[in-house]
Amino acid sequence: MVLAGKLIAELGIKTPADKFFKLYATELHELPNHCERIHHAKLHEGEDWHDTDTVKHWTYVIDGEVHTCHESIEEVDEQNKKVIWKIFGGDIEKHYKAFKLILEVSDKADGSAVVKWTIEYEKISEDINPPNAHMDFLCQNTRDVDANLGKEKVAQ
Alpha-carbon distance 120 to 148, whole Å?
28
**Would you state the pLDDT for residue 69?**
96
Alpha-carbon distance 142 to 93, whole Å?
24
Query: By C-alpha distance, which of 12, 7, 85, 96 is closest to 49?
Result: 85
Interval 15-38: pLDDT, tens? 999 999 999 999 989 999 999 999
**Would you state the pLDDT for residue 93?**
95
In the DSSP assignment, the letter for residue 151 is H
Alpha-carbon distance 139 to 12, whole Å?
10
Residue ranges of the chain whose pLDDT lies below 50: 154-156
The answer to whether the Cα torsion of 43, 32, 86, 27 is positive or negative is negative
**Would you state the pLDDT for residue 156?**
45
Half-sphere exposure of 89 (CA within 13 A, CB side): 12
